[in-house]
Chains A and B, each alone.
Chain A
Amino acid sequence: DQQVKQNSPSLSVQEGRISILNCDYTNSMFDYFLWYKKYPAEGPTFLISISSIKDKNEDGRFTVFLNKSAKHLSLHIVPSQPGDSAVYFCAASVGSRLTFGEGTQLTVNP
């Protein structure tokens, strides 16, 4: 039972444009949602999070939107930079237990 799902395995965008990564979930008990970035041969790096009681959280170029009625969240990166190229994982928590999606490979082309 896949409680957190990222339907796009890959996304390619031009440098300077917006990247939008999407994530859907099924469990209404999740209390926080997080995005992690992962480079090859490294562990996932925490990027940004949002509480289930909020609908938007912004940190520099990164903004996460949460639509609880649709059980959907998205990560916006603007402007995208080549260094943003990585695998992005959406994760949801109940307490400190994280459930991850399958990941989306983002490629930002110069």
Chain B
Amino acid sequence: ETGVTQSPTHLIKTRGQQVTLRCSSQSGHNTVSWYQQALGQGPQFIFQYYREEENGRGNFPPRFSGLQFPNYSSELNVNALELDDSALYLCASSSSQISYEQYFGPGTRLTVT
């Protein structure tokens, strides 16, 4: 059974640029959630995708957007990067949109300068 994978591992971008982060869900999982973890904080829910549709969103602006593909992998896109977007971005997959048990990938560390 393949776990959740994310790419890239690290990324450095300049303020105002755009970034795309990628996630492959665990085998058999059809739901992907994205979280932002700032330094010293717990992960914060960005949004969830179920069967290629957004299925819930946290308190993040529209410049945070996502996609889910037919194979259930997912992308997180952030436009007009700000310094405060520097964080660890975590992807988690689960077996359904109502399942509380989520399995996390190792994350992508984004630094905005």
Contact = CB atoms under 8 A, between A and B. Distances in A.
Nearest to A2: B42
A66 B90 CA distance: 27
- The A contact surface, by secondary structure, is strand
Interface of B: 4, 31, 33, 35, 40-45, 48, 56, 58, 90, 92, 94, 96-107
A43 B106 contact: yes
Contacts of A32: 100
A53 interface: no
A96 interface: yes
A45 B98 contact: no
Contact of A97 (B41, B45, B104): B45
Contact of B90 (A43, A46, A97): A43
- The B contact surface, by secondary structure, is loop
A44 interface: yes
A42 interface: yes
Contact of B100 (A6, A43, A93): A93
A89 B88 CA distance: 15
Max chain A CB contacts within 10 Å: which of B44, B94, B97, B100? B100
A96 B48 contact: yes
Max chain B CB contacts within 10 Å: which of A45, A46, A102? A46
A34 to B, nearest CB: 7
A93 B41 CA distance: 18
A96 B102 CA distance: 8
A42 B102 CA distance: 15
